[in-house]
Structure 1
Amino acid sequence: MSTREPIENIAFNLLIRSRYDLLIIILPVPLIVGFLASVMTAVPVSVGVGTGGVPSALLLGYGLFIDDPSA
């Protein structure tokens, strides 16, 4: 007898197949948070996006050099 997976699990499995897919999805999040924080406060947009770019650059460096994908 076969069992059916819930739709939520199927959608999640199609979206994120590996931790590198998750890294690609998370990569722009600090930039968006920095932009939204600068829009909501008196901080200039360049400072907010620049500050959000630091964690994004660290995530990119981690994904490329520390935990690099291997074929």
Structure 2
Amino acid sequence: MYKSKKKYELLELLNQRDQEIVSLRRQRDFHLKRIEKMNMTAAQRLVDYFIRWSDDYRKRQEVLNAKEEE
């Protein structure tokens, strides 16, 4: 009786630990995906900024060239 009770308690502890590990892994995966998404949006914002900057630069150059031709 005593051994089976002890064995049952150990199995319960192992089961509880496994559930905690699974929970922590899920939390980690969630946060990694969130960070990845944030990084992607930051990278996308940076790309968008450079695209806008290059468009603005090209327009300014066209205006300057037009003024020089006059």
TM-score calculated relative to the size of structure 1: 0.32
Higher relative contact order (CA 8 A, sep 6+): 1
Structure ranking higher in helix proportion: 2
Structure with higher Rg: it is: 2
